[in-house]
Structure 1
Amino acid sequence: MRVRLSVIIIALMLVLISLPLNNQAEAYPGGLLEGKQMAASSNGLNVDWSNTVSEATDGDTNTSIPLKYDGVGVAYLQYRFEKPTDITGYQLLLDTKSSKTRLRFFGENNKLLYDNANLVQDGTRTNLKISGAYEVWINANPGPINLKEFDLFGDSPQQPNPESPLNLTVIGQTSSSVDLTWNAVNSPNVQGYYVYLDGVQMPGIVTTNNFTITGLTPGQTYTAYVTAAYSNNIESGPSNTVTITLEEPVPGNSILKIYLNTGYEREYDLSTSQISDFINWYDNRANGIGKNYYPFVKTVNVGSFKKITQYITFDKIVTFDVNEY
């Protein structure tokens, strides 16, 4: 009986010894990509930085993302640091050794710093020395592969205070709309801007440094500020806040709403005679008579200026509405 028990114990120990160790497959703490989102793309060139995945950076070896270079599915994972970063190592874990991956680092101005398709792929932390990395690309070469974990190590690229937009200014308004502009942030990582009205983010990302808020209530007071939307889902702090008080509509006036072929809209609160002047100019210009632009003078909420004149060119106008009140 004792002999049989000893044999069973020895057999169990041999089974346990033969099982793969999972400690090398765990994500190392403190990695630069730990918990971060990576952009996923099919070719690595036309990257939508808002299309992100986290299966390779979540620290969970039970999750993975398939990569295959076929021009259709996901082949590349990419990450862009907020500043040039020194890399001292990487960790890569695949569920198979039958196919290889390719790892590349780029510096500023897309300078190639490192390119290697012969990587350690069993989850072992591997030393690496790269200075000033700005982007990292990892892709199937050619695949298919299932990428379980990927991480980098080195100096942290965190920037606690990414640059915020400055000098938010009201450049015009009607009784129901307001035109805003601000200084653009000079950074290649900025994808656009978020506009906040009374502390609530308005839908979508604004890709220029000006925006018109419409549909406001006459006679009401609002506050607005903007933030910069960086890649990797980073948002800057707010700009200065502006306060907007909309005037009550003047009886007999109309709102002229102009639709431009750029996709923007412009609204102007005008008197009956001003509406008539604009329509006369438009009709004449349609017959090739007169100047190619029409000036609209704003004197309300113009900051430090006495007035602001906006010039609307005829060839930009798609259509317009006249809404009397």
Structure 2
Amino acid sequence: MFVKKKLLGFIILCLLILIVAPNLTKAAESPAGLMDGKAIGTSTNSTTVMGSTLQVTDNNELTSYPLIYERSDSSKSKQDTFLIIFDSPVTINSYKMFITNYNREKMYIVFEDSNGVGIEGSIVNEVIQGDNEIHSFAKPLTNVKKIWVIQKGTGTLNVAEFNLYNIEPTPTITPTEEPVATPTVEPTATPEPTIEPTSTVTPTPSPTVSPSPTPEQPTGDRAIMVVTMSTGLEKEFDLSMEEVNTFIAWYEQKQAGTGTASYAINKHENNKGPFTNRKDYVIFDKILTFSVDQY
């Protein structure tokens, strides 16, 4: 009877080791994430946390959260957004989003600073990898205060893991070369050289190099300006550089706390129709980002 109890205890111990060991190995290999074991907010918008889940931050690929596609209905009764608001700004240089049924749906992973302004490097209406690997940004995102995530597909995505990282780069170790002993060379008698008269060498003239003309730089005075709104809508305008610079000056003044809340952009002859002129008014706090391509 005593032998049977010892055998049963040994079997239970072996089973526990088999269950726990893979998780310990995985934890040792994975870098620490900013969201490890922390609840992630869920919401119907990008400003207010309404619920939370631990299913995407528990480092368990077998659990997942059903992230529905972004709703456009006015009621917004269903939570279609991940929302993270940090107590204080952080730096992020990589992320992981593992979606078990991902099929190249367009994603938004938008990072905002402490002033609520979108940070360059945000993922805006793009296809991501969606696998269980960590992917680095082109450059670290600094002063990150808030993050919101939506998907633009037509169905529900099962998000198994979502985490953020600030991984320190591994320093490159330069090997130290071991000194090699130099053998002692015994001196040998050197015969006296016979001095032969040397002829005078006539130097070969170097060709005169003509400087290459400096290529002229393009002097485009117009540009295509694309304004991306916080809803993902993109507005495109064909403007003069003077109009572009005026818009940028308004945006920077408004960001500094002065100026009007909206800005009128002249659409000129684009789809003018029967109207004498057409202007598109954009609201400052609805602008996510904008780009200028000069031509």
Per the normalisation by structure 2, the TM-score is 0.41
**1 or 2 for the larger relative contact order (CA 8 Å, sep ≥6)?**
2
Which is strand-richer, 1 or 2?
Answer: 1
Q: Larger Cα Rg: Structure 1 or Structure 2?
A: 2
